[in-house]
Amino acid sequence: MSANEMGQGWRVGQSATALPASEVLNSPEDIIDAPEHYEYARAMGLLTWGTWDTEARPFEERLRDFLQAYPAEAPARFQGSMLVKTAAGEYGPAAAGERLARIQRIDDSFGTRAEALARYGLRRRAGPQYVPRGIEVAPFREITRIRNKRLRILHGRVDVEADNMDEAKVAEIERLEKKRAAEQIREARRRMREDH
- Let me know the angle formed at the C-alpha of 38 by 32 and 40, rounded to the nearest 5 degrees: 115
β-strand partners of 31: 124
Instruction: Enter the pTM of the model.
Output: 0.56
Q: Where are the beta strands (DSSP E) in the chain?
A: 31-33, 83-85, 91-93, 122-124
β-strand partners of 122: 33
- Give pLDDT tens digits for 8-65: 333 333 333 444 433 446 678 889 999 999 999 998 899 998 888 889 999 999 999 9
Rounded to whole angstroms, how far apart are CA atoms 130 and 147? 30
DSSP state of 117: H
Q: Residue 31 — φ and ψ, nearest 5°?
A: -100, 130
Other CB atoms within a 10 A radius of the CB of residue 90 amount to 8
- Give pLDDT tens digits for 136-187: 878 888 888 888 888 877 777 556 666 777 888 889 899 999 999 999 999 9
Distance of CA 133 to the CA centre of its chain: 14
